[in-house]
């Protein structure tokens, strides 16, 4: 097969070249338009490029659909060259995938076109965003974009960047690493850490309850916390579940309690719960798992409140998943707004596409972050929440070594 590339100032000139060089049966494989510098680089000129093939051994079916150059020239003469040329060319190219030479040419062209479209879309998104937030300084716009791409809410992202801009002197604006460091510090300040669960009293157990929407990882997190307290810190740790709805859920915690060697009590009413807490008064820590209640179910939330008031916990951690959408997390927050929650745990960081939601939520509810969980393994996949690590992850940088 004979493959050639032709360049001209217009589509019709390029097609005329193809026709005169390769004849009317040549088939167009690819067309593109680009600008090149001329006049010592002072001016840019548009160039139309056509890649055409001749003597193609393609099946009849393909030849019937492929458009010979002749018809392009006729169409071009009618002033409608571009749309008609553009459509048959990739179609012919697709048919020619069966020929090795045609395959290479067509794939090269497609890759280039896709990359051009990507650049165009990126530029358009940037322009639109810049118009929406004209207050963000141009030099810091890429950092603003990184925050928004991590799903930090636009208003919050703009505020963070504007505040950052006020801290920077003009000579800093070119120092990307310096700016990034300052930005990490700014985000870190917005993510206060609660620190790990510790005893805050000298007598009686520290009572900790975990609440949150269904399936976010409450039971798994309780198991991780209990295993760490019991096995690593050698603390007497009792477990209570008020998950009375599903036998499977109780079994799940019982399995962990057995492995860890901690007592487990299953309670079905606030009175039961009060009794279970009293029975575990010799423990240093009591961890209470709660049933996964749908955030839509207001009645069951009032039940949860009754359980919590019976247990009288020292701390209540609201567990939220980083894999949920911003809307889902907000819905959960509004449903649980009425229930006491002192600290936040974010789960499933290992599966989250973006971590902006953590910043959005903490900024909104002004609660501190106690733990994050990073996988399904008990007890290893849990870490004390550290604002700096999260800030780095939000900006697409990895965690710092040793953290
Ligand atoms: N990838 C990943 N999966 C997790 C993590 N934490 C929990 N899971 C998984 O999430 C699923 C639900 O976890 P559970 O602990 O049963 O969630 P729950 O909040 O107790 O659920 P309900 O009791 O039904 O409300 C399980 O398959 C866990 O293994 C995590 O950090 N990362
Ligand atoms: Mg559970």
* Average pLDDT value over all residues in the chain: 82
Indicate which residue's Cα is closest to atom 4 of ligand 1.
376
User: What is the pLDDT, as a whole number, of residue 37?
Assistant: 60
Calpha distance 256→379 (Å, rounded): 10
Q: How far apart are CA 202 and CA 160, in angstroms?
A: 41
The burial class, CB within 10 Å (0-12 / 13-18 / 19+), for 70 is middle
CA atoms within 13 A on the CB side of 337: 11
pLDDT at 298 over 70: no
Q: Which ligand is nearest to the CA of 376?
A: 1
For residues 46-54, give the mean pLDDT.
83
Length of the chain: 403
Q: Does ligand 1 come within 6 angstroms of the Cβ of 376?
A: yes
* pLDDT for residue 75: 31
CB-ligand 1 contact for 219 (6 Å cutoff): yes
Contact 51, 4 (CB under 8 A): yes
Residue with tokens 């076109």: 113
pLDDT at 64: 38
What is the structure's pLDDT at 73?
34
Give distance in angstroms: CA of 201 to centre of ligand 1: 30
**Is 56 near ligand 1, meaning CB less than 6 Å away?**
no
CA–centroid distance, 45 to ligand 1, in Å, is: 59
pLDDT at 61: 41
- Residue 33: other Cβ atoms inside 10 A: 13
Per-residue model confidence (pLDDT) at position 90: 54
Distances (CA, A) of 243 to 37, 86, 176, 235: 71, 63, 51, 24
Which atom from ligand 1 is nearest to the alpha carbon of 347? Answer: 31
Pocket test for ligand 1, best of 214, 215, 322, 353 (most atoms within 8 A of CB): 215
Q: Whose CA is nearest to atom 1 of ligand 1?
A: 375
Separation CA 291–CA 310 (nearest Å): 15
Min mean pLDDT across 82-91, 113-122, 201-210, 350-359 is at: 82-91
Is the distance from the beta carbon of residue 347 to the nearest atom of ligand 1 less than 6 Å?
Answer: yes
Q: What ligand is nearest to the CA atom of residue 216?
A: 1
For residue 24, what pLDDT band results from cuts at 50, 70 and 90? confident
**Per-residue confidence (pLDDT) for residue 283, from 0 to 100:** 97
Report the distance separating Cα 147 and Cα 360, nearest Å. Answer: 11
- Ligand 1 atom 21: the closest Cα is on which residue? 215
The residue that leads in pLDDT, 399 or 327, is 327
Query: Does ligand 1 have an atom closer than 6 angstroms to the CB of 220?
Result: yes
Q: What pLDDT sits at residue 68? A: 42
Give the Å distance between the CA of 235 and the centre of ligand 2.
23
Ligand nearest to the CA of 350: 1
Q: At residue 356, does pLDDT exceed 90?
A: yes
pLDDT in tens, 91-110: 555 555 566 666 677 777 78
CA of 117 to the centre of ligand 1 (A): 40
Please tell me the distance from the alpha carbon of residue 12 to that of residue 25, in angstroms, as a whole number.
Answer: 17
DSSP codes joined into one string, 62-92: HHHHSPBHHHHHHHHHTT-HHHHHHTHHHHH
Buried b (16+ CB within 10 A) or exposed e, 385-401: bbbbbbbbbbbeeeeee
Pairing status of strand 237-241 against strand 2-8: unpaired
The radius of gyration of the chain's CA atoms, rounded to the nearest angstrom, is 32
What's the rounded mean pLDDT across residues 14-26? Answer: 86
Q: How far is 74 from 77, CA to CA, in rounded Å? A: 5
Residue range(s) in the chain whose domain bears CATH number 3.40.50.300: 206-394
Point out the ligand nearest to the CA of residue 225: 1
Pocket probe mutation, ligand 1, options 211, 245, 376, max atoms within 8 Å of Cβ: 376
Give the environment of ion ligand 2: residues with CB less than 5 A.
218-219
Ligand 1 centre to CA of 102 (Å) is 51
Supply the pTM of this predicted model.
0.71
* 348 within ligand 1 shell (Cβ under 6 A): yes
- Spell out a b/e string for 307-316, using b for 16 or more CB atoms within 10 Å of the CB, else e: bbebbebbbb
What is 206-394's CATH number? 3.40.50.300
pLDDT band at 47 (very low <50, low <70, confident <90, very high): confident
Per-residue model confidence (pLDDT) at position 76: 32
Distance 87 CA to ligand 1 centre (A): 50
Lowest mean pLDDT, pick from 178-182, 249-253, 301-305: 249-253
Among all bound ligands, the one having the nearest atom to the CA of 214 is 1
Say how many Å lie between the CA of residue 254 and the centre of ligand 2: 12
The mean pLDDT value for 159-167 works out to 92
Q: Which is the closest atom of ligand 1 to the Cα of 292?
A: 25
pLDDT of 131 reads 72
Residue nearest to atom 23 of ligand 1 (CA): 292
């Amino acid at each position: 097969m004979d493959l050639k590339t032709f360049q001209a100032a217009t589509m019709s000139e390029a097609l005329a070249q193809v026709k005169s060089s390769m004849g009317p049966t040549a088939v167009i494989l690819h067309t593109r338009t680009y600008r090149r510098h001329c006049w010592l680089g002072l001016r840019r000129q548009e160039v139309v490029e056509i890649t055409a093939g001749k003597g193609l051994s393609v099946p009849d079916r393909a030849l019937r659909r492929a458009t010979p150059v002749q018809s392009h020239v006729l169409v071009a003469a009618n002033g409608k060259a571009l749309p008609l040329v553009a459509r048959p060319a990739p179609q012919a190219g697709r048919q020619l995938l069966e020929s090795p030479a045609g395959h290479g040419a067509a794939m090269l062209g497609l890759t280039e076109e896709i990359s051009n479209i990507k650049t165009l879309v990126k530029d358009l998104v940037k322009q639109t965003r810049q118009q929406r937030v004209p207050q963000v300084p141009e030099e810091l716009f890429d950092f603003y974009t990184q925050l928004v791409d991590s799903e930090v809410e636009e208003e919050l992202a703009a505020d963070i960047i504007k505040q950052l801009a006020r801290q920077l002197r003009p000579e800093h604006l070119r120092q990307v690493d310096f700016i990034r460091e300052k930005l990490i510090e700014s985000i870190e300040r917005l993510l206060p850490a609660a620190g790990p669960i510790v005893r805050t009293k000298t007598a009686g157990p520290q009572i900790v309850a975990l609440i949150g929407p269904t399936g976010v990882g409450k039971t798994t997190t309780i198991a991780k916390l209990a295993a760490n307290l019991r096995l690593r810190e050698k603390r007497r740790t009792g477990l209570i579940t008020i998950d009375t709805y599903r036998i499977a859920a109780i079994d799940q915690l019982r399995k962990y309690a057995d492995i860890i060697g901690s007592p487990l009590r299953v309670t079905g009413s606030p009175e039961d719960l009060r009794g279970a807490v009293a029975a575990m008064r010799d423990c240093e820590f009591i961890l209470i798992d709660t049933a996964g209640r749908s955030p839509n179910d207001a009645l069951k939330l009032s039940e949860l409140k009754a359980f919590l008031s019976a247990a009288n916990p020292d701390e209540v951690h609201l567990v939220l998943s980083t894999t949920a959408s911003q809307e889902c997390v907000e819905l959960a927050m509004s449903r649980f707004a009425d229930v006491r929650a002192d600290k936040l745990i974010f789960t499933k960081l290992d599966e989250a596409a973006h971590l902006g939601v953590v910043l959005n939520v903490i900024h909104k509810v002004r609660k501190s972050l106690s733990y994050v969980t990073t996988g399904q393994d008990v007890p290893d996949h849990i870490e004390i929440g550290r604002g700096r690590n999260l800030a780095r992850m939000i900006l697409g940088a990895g965690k710092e070594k040793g953290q």
